[in-house]
Amino acid sequence: MTQINIDLPAEVVNDIRQRTEGKGITIARYVTDLIHREASHTWPEGFFKEVAGCWQGSSLIRPPQGEVEPRKAM
């Protein structure tokens, strides 16, 4: 695994420490997971299974949209 060094404000480091305390994960693992989640170009695992077909409210009906306004040619 490659190591990198980054400078973070003290309040960010303190927040990360609080979030990892007692959870059995290291700060490195926590930050790595954040980066993977934020840099991913795919849907999170299980996203569609959890979301698709889950709407339990009344049926969604799109109201009439009216006429499209003509636009000037470019």
pLDDT digits over 5-59, tens only? 999 999 999 999 999 999 999 999 999 999 988 888 888 888 888 888 788 888 8
How is residue 57 annotated by DSSP?
S
pLDDT at 30: 95
pLDDT at 11: 97
Nearest-angstrom CA–CA distance, 1 and 48 = 31
CA distances (Å), origin 44, targets 25, 27, 35, 68: 20, 22, 13, 36
User: Over the range 36-53, which residues count as b (16 or more CB within 10 Å of their CB) and which as e?
Assistant: eeeeeeeeeeeeeeeeee
Nearest-angstrom CA–CA distance, 16 and 31 = 8
